[in-house]
Structure 1
């Protein structure tokens, strides 16, 4: 039976954004499509957003699915602190188990205390040697996300960064770059491997992804290489 994997939402979003490239529509529309795809793909998420930033961390464009995301993001930029800005500055994924107890951004945490936000994940949008922004998701419950969720968001970030960079720089808007094709191939390979493990072991997608990551670490190989071996029929999964 065919699995409807969460990351299929990304394929749909990419297809729609290719159309935006063809018609040279603005980047605002692209980030809005991505935000909706992310929210739909990750269970427990009450809102998602995409922010593009300049070299000083100032927001230049944003897409969000809900007003609560808009408000939480606006407070980050007003206060100059928060998980999204940290993800951008450090070029890494930031996981927040509980906004109310996390000590990293005291002003922002206090400012959003009245909002229905407890858990957050934000992933950097890195293209080439530049970080152009961040993706973020919010949940109403504490500990709603784990490191596997961060990995899932990163799978969105790779092709998303390349797409948005294309639109921003207007480089060959009718073509999708080799880097994007590579990122999408990586995502599809991992997605197919997760599907095999889901069917084989009765796992959900996030558990299958965690299993793959653990196996990759134990065998000192990459997640993509392990996934490719599994989908090619190599006995990569021995457990």
Structure 2
């Protein structure tokens, strides 16, 4: 079976969630679907989770792909420290190459030392001006994640935050917002651009996404804009 393009899994999950009655009681089911999609889409991830937090950093809803992630996350909330809470508080992506040598959260590090976790990336869920939670991926190997893995996780964060904000909104429980539609359109552009690079240069899906990321960094642009520029140069009729 051919491997899906890097963001296809997210699009599939979003489509499934759009079929749900988007009310607050569906949040737990939605975040569980998203956690599984994230794990399946990030190379090297052995576990993933989604957490929704209130204004004081307290967990209001969460999902994880396995008990290791559940335990590691629970310890963060109990101890009040860890990469997920830092990503939420700073509104920036947090990467941990090796938990055993990272000094930032000594209590949490000590508490998870016997768990099969060595690498972590966590990125905030930003819905407009509000940070509503964080996504996170774990690996049982040190140095498992590079910059590209962080970028892929960040690609999930935009539509995920918008979707969850819609689910929690009492004003529009049945609608996916225009912001979510725009986010998904950007992801579709990236997928199409990846497909073009794969066909042109015989690249894998991961290699194509990495190439787009390199171009975006080199030109100080966004993945969406780089993808749109690439697509604009393609003839309307295929060769």
Same fold, TM exceeding 0.5? yes
Once the two structures are superposed, residues 76-123 of structure 1 have per-residue CA deviations (whole angstroms, 9 ceiling, x without a partner) of 011111110011011111111111111111111111110001111111
Q: In structure 2, how many angstroms separate the alpha carbons of the residues matched to 1:82 and 1:120?
A: 10
Distance 1:24 1:70, change over 3 A: closer
- Contact map agreement 1:149 1:206 (CA 8 A) in 2: no
Which residue is 2:119 aligned to?
119
- Contact map agreement 1:54 1:60 (CA 8 A) in 2: yes
| CA RMSD of superposed structures (Å) | 1.9
Q: In structure 1, how many angstroms separate the alpha carbons of the residues matched to 2:132 and 2:24?
A: 19
- Contact map agreement 1:98 1:142 (CA 8 A) in 2: yes
1:48 and 2:48 aligned: yes
| TM-score, length basis structure 2 | 0.92
Which residue is 2:16 aligned to?
16
1:191 and 2:188 aligned: no
Q: In structure 2, how many angstroms separate the alpha carbons of the residues matched to 1:141 and 1:12?
A: 29
- Contact map agreement 1:39 1:47 (CA 8 A) in 2: yes
Q: In structure 1, how many angstroms separate the alpha carbons of the residues matched to 2:119 and 2:7?
A: 21
Secondary structure at the residue paired with 2:63?
strand
Q: Which runs of 5+ in 2 are unaligned?
A: none
Q: In structure 1, how many angstroms separate the alpha carbons of the residues matched to 2:185 and 2:71?
A: 35
| TM-score, length basis structure 1 | 0.92
Q: In structure 2, how many angstroms separate the alpha carbons of the residues matched to 1:221 and 1:13?
A: 27
Distance 1:113 1:24, change over 3 A: closer
- Matches of residues 152-167 of structure 1 in structure 2 within 5 Å? 152-167=152-167
Distance 1:58 1:198, change over 3 A: same
1:64 and 2:64 aligned: yes
- Contact map agreement 2:23 2:168 (CA 8 A) in 1: no
Once the two structures are superposed, residues 15-68 of structure 1 have per-residue CA deviations (whole angstroms, 9 ceiling, x without a partner) of 111122357752111111111111111122111110000011000000111000
Q: In structure 1, how many angstroms separate the alpha carbons of the residues matched to 2:204 and 2:144?
A: 15
Once the two structures are superposed, residues 140-186 of structure 1 have per-residue CA deviations (whole angstroms, 9 ceiling, x without a partner) of 11111111111101111101101100111233222211000000011
- Matches of residues 203-222 of structure 1 in structure 2 within 5 Å? 203-222=203-222
Which residue is 2:38 aligned to?
38
Q: Highest relative contact order (Cα 8 Å, sep 6+), 1 or 2?
A: 2
Aligned length: 235
- Contact map agreement 1:38 1:48 (CA 8 A) in 2: yes
Q: Which runs of 5+ in 1 are unaligned?
A: none
- Matches of residues 134-149 of structure 1 in structure 2 within 5 Å? 134-149=134-149
